[in-house]
């Protein structure tokens, strides 16, 4: 049996599972009728009598008044009745974003106090209801007179029926049922019910339950231990990687202080280099700061810099890729066969790989090479601002909803908002193509043009971004471009990104009569960071040339003509006609 509990929704039986005793049996004992009721309960749990028959017979014998029920709850408060380890297990599940339900053949009047004690919403409780008799003269409730037979749990097959109803309401990938009785085992034996049954024998062991369980435990600590905390590894250590790692470090530390899902230490692969005669990894581990790429920002004392790539990813089951996109393929080749096969990944890298058969996004490259799911995080993410804890946001594009939710919990902080979209290609293409538009914005700034020109360039750029993305990937959603990964990222990059900065410097050097190449400007202005826009422009233009689409994307074509010296920077102000004159080279 696997050692990790993977249910996205976990449903618990209550009596003799969540609580140490059967609630009706305990109530009957409180009223002096315990022996008779316990006999019927055991027959039902062993499958000797039907659930419906047992419920009716037990209620008939108990014959409880409202004041007696209130006295019982006061005498047996929920905190005194919980099974050892159940609170920690449910806390751990909820901290990991798992939905927790109580599904019981018992009654709401007895179950809701237990749910409140465990922090489970009343809406997540499936239980029977007692029918109460009301005195016609006083209007007061006098005694119980049976059960409401409309409730799913009032009859045989009620638990799988309740789970089937949950599946209709919510897109749960996996539902686990935990319980001690035959009716709990039944939940996994009927189509539409649970995917997995965990038998619990800490109070009573029933042979049929033990033999039919996917996993049988007699101590909830075993399940709590199975909720292994995710080990996160960062692949990359540039400015954006360090800013993002700071977010993750914050959440991992917070998680480790409670029953959260993430291990505290976050390993980060750092391409080793010397800064001031010292190894960069040593500096990061001692000062908790990347003095070369994100100076003045503490990224967290739980970040562990590792110079060895394989050491960084060892035992990790959450991988965060954040390296210059031209290096990702080689990194994936080194990692092939070396990562946890159950790991999940997310790419923060903006760029694409051009092949004869078409472009390959970085998430596709990771997915293909490592055979693991890969989401993407894109958005208006100027590294220094995030490092300074200014309000920022991002978009996570996902294919597997539970992985999207996992990464949202990993990255979102009080200062960093995250939205989810089921559109990996759209989010990634938006994040990639905006770097080309940022070059255009930098050319406009270098020419000294005003906001009208810059706005016109940005609008045209957004239009070409959206059009090209949807043309290459028909599944791309138009609305994705209105998320942070689209228009917000475009605005931020066109005003504050390094592509805009270098493009502006390129124009000023050109106009001065002492032009400088983008490689020289990259070295002078970016302190070792890589300029992605020029490479992305060449990659995009290769695609346009292969498809014969150059004139249909005049802004992209004109930008590429400028970066390759085929057009003067001023051509950006007449990009529609300039594109017809340019003959860009891949």
CA–CA dist 516, 529 (Å, integer): 18
**Helix, strand counts (H, E) of the chain:** 25, 20
578 contacts 571 by C-beta, under 8 angstroms: yes
CA–CA dist 373, 364 (Å, integer): 9
Instruction: Answer left, alpha or beta for residue 559, where phi above 0 means left and psi between -120 and 50 means alpha.
Output: alpha
CA–CA dist 134, 141 (Å, integer): 4
SS3 content of the chain, % helix, strand, coil (to 5): 50, 15, 30
Map residue 355 onto helix, strand or coil: strand
Return the number of other C-beta atoms located less than 10 Å from residue 143's C-beta. Answer: 14
CA–CA dist 90, 119 (Å, integer): 9
Return the number of other C-beta atoms located less than 10 Å from residue 174's C-beta. Answer: 15
Closest CA to 197 of 210, 207, 188: 188
Closest CA to 332 of 431, 472, 433, 236: 236
Backbone dihedral angles phi then psi of residue 375, each to the nearest 5 degrees: -90, 180
Question: 67: which 2 tokens?
Answer: 């004041």
Map residue 136 onto helix, strand or coil: coil
Report CA-CA distances (Å) from 422 to 398, 404, 428, 487: 5, 9, 12, 17
456 contacts 473 by C-beta, under 8 angstroms: no
CA–CA dist 533, 438 (Å, integer): 8
Question: 361: which 2 tokens?
Answer: 């996004």
Tally of CA atoms within 13 A in the half-sphere of 98 that contains its CB? 25
Catalytic site includes residue 454: no
Q: Which of 434, 449, 454, 547 is catalytic?
A: 434
Report CA-CA distances (Å) from 520 to 270, 444, 528: 24, 20, 11
First-to-last alpha carbon distance for the chain, in angstroms, is 53
101 beta partners = 11
Q: How many residues are listed for the chain in this entry? A: 586
For 531-586, strand residue ranges (E) read none
Strand order across the 262-269 sheet: 303-306, 262-269, 230-235, 318-321, 344-347, 374-378, 392-397, 416-421
- Where in the sequence numbering do the catalytic residues fall? 434
């Amino acid at each position: 049996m696997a050692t990790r509990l993977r249910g996205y929704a976990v449903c618990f039986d209550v009596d003799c599972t969540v609580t140490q005793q059967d609630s009706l049996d305990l109530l009957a004992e409180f009223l002096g009728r315990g022996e008779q009721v316990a006999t019927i309960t055991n027959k039902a749990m062993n499958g000797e009598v039907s659930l419906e028959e047992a419920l009716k017979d037990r209620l008939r014998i108990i014959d409880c008044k409202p004041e007696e029920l209130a006295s019982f709850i006061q005498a047996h408060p929920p905190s005194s009745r919980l099974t050892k380890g159940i609170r920690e297990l449910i806390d751990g599940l909820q901290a990991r974003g798992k939905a927790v339900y109580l599904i019981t053949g018992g009654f709401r009047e007895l179950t809701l106090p237990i749910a409140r004690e465990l922090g489970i919403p009343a809406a997540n409780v499936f239980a029977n209801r007692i029918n109460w008799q009301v005195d016609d003269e006083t209007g007061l409730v006098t005694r119980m007179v049976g059960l409401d037979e409309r409730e799913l749990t009032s009859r045989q097959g009620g638990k799988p029926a309740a789970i089937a109803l949950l599946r209709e309401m919510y897109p749960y990938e996996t539902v686990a049922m935990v319980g001690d009785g035959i009716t709990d085992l039944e939940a996994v034996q009927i189509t539409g019910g649970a995917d997995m049954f965990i038998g619990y024998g800490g109070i009573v062991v029933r042979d049929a339950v033990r033999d039919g369980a996917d996993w049988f435990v007699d101590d909830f600590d075993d399940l709590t231990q199975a909720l292994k905390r995710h080990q996160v590894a960062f692949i990359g250590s540039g400015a954006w990687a360090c800013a993002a790692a700071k977010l993750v470090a914050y959440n991992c530390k917070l998680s480790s202080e409670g029953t959260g899902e993430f291990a505290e230490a976050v390993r980060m692969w750092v391409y080793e280099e010397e800064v001031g005669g010292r190894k960069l990894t040593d500096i990061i581990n001692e000062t908790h700061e990347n003095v070369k790429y994100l100076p003045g920002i503490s990224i967290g004392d739980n970040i562990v810099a590792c110079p060895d790539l394989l050491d960084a990813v060892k035992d990790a089951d959450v991988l965060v890729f954040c390296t210059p996109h031209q290096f990702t393929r080689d990194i994936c080749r080194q990692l092939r066969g070396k990562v946890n096969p159950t790991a999940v990944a997310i790419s923060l890298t903006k760029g694409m790989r051009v092949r004869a058969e078409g472009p390959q996004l970085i998430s596709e490259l990771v997915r293909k090479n490592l055979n693991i799911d890969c989401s993407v995080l894109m958005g208006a993410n100027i590294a220094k601002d995030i490092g300074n804890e200014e309000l920022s946001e991002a978009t996570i594009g996902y294919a597997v909803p539970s992985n999207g939710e996992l990464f949202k919990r990993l990255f979102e902080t009080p200062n960093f908002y995250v939205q989810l979209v089921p559109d990996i290609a759209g989010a990634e293409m938006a994040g990639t193509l905006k770097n080309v538009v940022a070059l255009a914005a930098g050319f406009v700034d270098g020419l000294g043009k005003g906001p009208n020109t810059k706005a016109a360039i940005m609008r045209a750029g957004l239009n070409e971004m959206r059009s090209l993305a949807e043309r290459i990937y028909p599944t791309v959603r138009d609305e994705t471009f209105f998320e942070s990964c689209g228009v917000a990222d475009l605005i931020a990059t066109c005003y504050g990104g390094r592509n805009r900065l270098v493009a502006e410097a390129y124009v000023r050097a050109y106009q001065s009569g002492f032009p400088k190449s983008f490689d020289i400007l990259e070295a002078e202005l970016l302190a070792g960071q890589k300029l992605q826009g020029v490479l992305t422009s060449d990659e995009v233009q290769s695609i346009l040339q292969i498809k014969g689409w150059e004139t249909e994307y005049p802004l992209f074509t004109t930008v590429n003509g400028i970066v390759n010296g085929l057009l003067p920077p001023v051509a950006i102000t007449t990009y529609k006609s300039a594109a017809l004159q340019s003959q860009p080279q891949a």
